Amino acid sequence: MNQNIKGFSKLSKQEKIEWISNTYFSNPAKATETVKQYWNSNEDLQKLHDEFIENTLTNFYLPYGVAPNFVINGKNYTIPMAIEESSVVAAASKAAKFWEQRGGFKATVINTEKIGQVHFLFKGSFEKLQNFFSVIKPKFFSDTENFTKNMQKRGGGILDIELRDKTSDIENYFQLHATFNTKDSMGANFINTCLEQFAKTLENEAREYNNFNEEEKNIQVIMSILSNYVPNCIVRAEVSCPIDQLSDDPSIDSKEFAEKFVNAIKIAEIEPYRAVTHNKGIMNGIDAVIVATGNDFRAVAAGVHAYASRNGSYSSLSHAKIENDVFTFWIDIPLAIGTIGGLTTLHPLVKFSLEMLGKPSAEELMKIVAVTGLAQNFAAVRSLTTTGIQQGHMKMHIMNILNQHQATKEEKAKVLDYFKNNTISHSLVVDYLEQLRK
């Protein structure tokens, strides 16, 4: 059957499903049933979800869990997490409980500056362009007043606009580099609207500028877009306690554990192969909260990993030290997120998440997200340097294996009991299940 189609977006939802099922599946009826079983029975709610994106067929579910017992700056939180990976929520919860008994987490927003750029070509000298920029800079602010007045009422707006010479990288290439404060919104639409007006102002003013020749008047704007790299929108989360309080297991020596933990972090700071996996674990916690609160996990991840490479080599986002017999563990994370706008006012579970968190400001949510990443990292490194990562992870993963092999309730009980004190792996679980069935 022909797999190309014209006018797909104009088909009804039912017609889209029928075309997909008939074109790609040996059993079209079963394919259609699979898609439809994830529809919400509430028609209004389903319509809302359908309109989030284009060509919607159905809903793709992620488990939504919570990690309780987080104490952040003296305040208690139960943190929502949307994620499909086993052991992540359990690890965050365990770390929260551990640090709750040791003073909790501390978090501070260091800065909230966001960035947008207008990229353009100018065939003239930087000095001449700089003089022009100095003359018209106030126009960038005045021409965007209609867009910025509401943001300014909330204490945000355009912070500054710089002209940057990038001709050493690309011939005739310059930038308008603008900084913004968008308060409780992530601000992507606000920033991009301002940038597109900057571009129009730049082009219009250049055409009228008497000190430019005809070629210089013809500034060519390539694009105007915000950046998801926000190295000046930073939150720090940290924990600390005396070394002798660092172990809650009699079989683990606190001093030895502290030293081993710090060395594990040092390895992640200098070894990119370790750092990538190390930071992936941090993002397990961060992304789960970002998704649950309706923020853009892809933008956050891109900015975070760029930040991890800011010194020329990919490195750990977290750091640890021992000073005067006190263990300190901390993380600095760039987070451009919001609590108003976008899905935050549309998705019912996002609203649920934000209310459960006490309707936080963007800065408070930054702290919550960073703390969850730090908690996740602490749990992972603690396991790696003591019992090993697989023991806890596979205990959580075993139910996935059993469901995959359609184990009955009785079979699950027997398998779980058997592996309480035995090494767990996918093949060993399957082998034991097959023995039971014989």
d(CA 15, CA 26): 18
In 187-274, DSSP assigns E strands to 220-227, 234-242
Residue among 280, 325, 355, 426 flagged as catalytic: 280
Active site residue 280: yes
d(CA 160, CA 7): 45
Active site residue 296: yes
d(CA 194, CA 146): 10
Are 180 and 114 within 8 A, CB to CB? Answer: yes
In 268-426, DSSP assigns E strands to 318-323, 326-334
Residue among 18, 49, 50, 85 flagged as catalytic: 85
Q: Report the 10 Å Cβ neighbour count for 265.
A: 19
329 closest CA partner among 319, 338, 317, 339: 319
Residue among 196, 205, 238, 296 flagged as catalytic: 296
Contact partners, residue 297, CB within 8 Å, separation at least 6 = 287, 290, 291
In 94-233, DSSP assigns E strands to 106-109, 114-121, 157-165, 173-181, 220-227
Phi, psi of 176 (to 5 degrees): -95, 120
Q: In degrees to the nearest 10, what's the CA dihedral of 185, 191, 197, 201?
A: 130
Active site residue 177: no
d(CA 206, CA 221): 12
d(CA 157, CA 190): 9
Burial 356-379 (b: 16+ CB within 10 A, else e): ebeebebbbbbbbbbbbbbbbbbb
Q: Report the 10 Å Cβ neighbour count for 422.
A: 9
* Encoded amino acid at 152, one letter: Q
Q: Which residues are annotated as catalytic?
A: 85, 280, 296, 393
